[in-house]
Amino acid sequence: MTKITALEQILVALPDIDVVGEIERGFVALSEGKVDVPPVGELLFPEDNGEFHIKYGVVRGDDVFVVKLATGFFGNAALGLPPFSGCMLILSAKTGEVLHILLEEGELTNHRTAAAGAVAARHLAPPRVDVIGICGSGVQARLQADYLRQVTPCRTLLLWGRDAGRAAAAVSDIEQMGFDARMAASVEELAASSQLIVTTTPADAPYLLSNWVKPGTHITAMGSDTPHKTEIDPAILRRAGLVVADSIPQCLLRGEIRAAIEAGAIGPDDVVELGSLIAGKAGRRTPDDITVADLTGVAVQDIMIAKAVVARTS
């Protein structure tokens, strides 16, 4: 019989899960060729600023596989609704039966995305981070700050958002996490002060420009998860000493790497995969290297967090 787990039960289970560790192990398995991840299924609703993704896959040898349905409708705030929703299906890899449905309403997607940002920062941020810069003022801006507390002692943070009211609310929430946080007047100001920058917006044109980024900066770009989105100047990737993809095949089709290749700033051979980096096969070469992690969101993240939740709610 299929078990259905509501969001309330999922939220009770989450604090007992090492989400960063689970996602880190998933990236390594992906880069070792142990995970089958088909291309993302996608429907876009531009008239409503919305999108729908299907991400699915299996870790070979597991008894289960996972299918994730996720939506992002970014005008929902005006309707009094959250921007994200969705669910995860856990099926038997032996019989195809639906064993478990996680009614996560986008919450697990948000946490596994933020955890991937922490994984990237753990392996790519410079040794000394005095200021974290976050671009965006939504759910992910808050969660990225929350998860970064696990991997860096830095508690000084600048946040920039297009809407001053929403940015001020995000700063207030992040201050409750123990950060000395304030709003940046511009992206240029944020870049001038930050050694670790996280971009979290659904922008369709670059707003973080190359000449603003200081040597030694690490950038985690996680907002551009469809072919039409881009947040950072392709010239940043040209300057970078290390360009990292969560999944090389996926980043050739969507995200900042796709845009930079299309612009002629880099080539496919200039990219390394995050799991390989974690395994020690690449890394920052000099203190002045700019590094970029392009996180488009890979099904292995959903697999890992879903299995961990099921183990604690079954």
Residue 284's pLDDT is 74
Query: pTM of the full predicted structure?
Result: 0.94
Whether pLDDT at 1 is above 90: no
HEC sequence for the chain? CCEEECHHHHHHHHHHCCHHHHHHHHHHHHHCCCEECCCCEEEEEHHHCEEEEEEEEEECCCCEEEEEEEEEECCHHHHCCCCEEEEEEEEECCCCCEEEEECCCCHHHHHHHHHHHHHHHHHHCCCCCCCEEEECCCHHHHHHHHHHCCCCCCCEEEEECCCHHHHHHHHHHHHCCCCEEEECCCHHHHHHHCCEEEECCCCEEEEECHHHCCCCCEEEECCCCCCCCEEECHHHHHHCCEEEECCHHHHCCCCHHHHHHHCCCCCHHHEEEHHHHHCCCCCCCCCCCCEEEECCCCHHHHHHHHHHHHHHHC
Q: Report the C-alpha gap between 173 and 176 in whole angstroms.
A: 5
Residue 18's pLDDT is 98
Chain region(s) in the chain for CATH 3.30.1780.10: 3-108+300-313
Chain region(s) in the chain for CATH 3.40.50.720: 125-297
Other CB atoms within a 10 A radius of the CB of residue 292 amount to 28
What pLDDT digit, counting tens, does each position of 190-247 carry? 999 999 999 999 999 999 999 999 999 999 999 998 888 999 999 999 999 999 999 9
State which fold the 125-297 domain adopts: Rossmann fold (3.40.50)
Residue whose tokens read 């099904």: 299
Is 3.30.1780.10 the CATH classification of the domain at 3-108+300-313?
A: yes
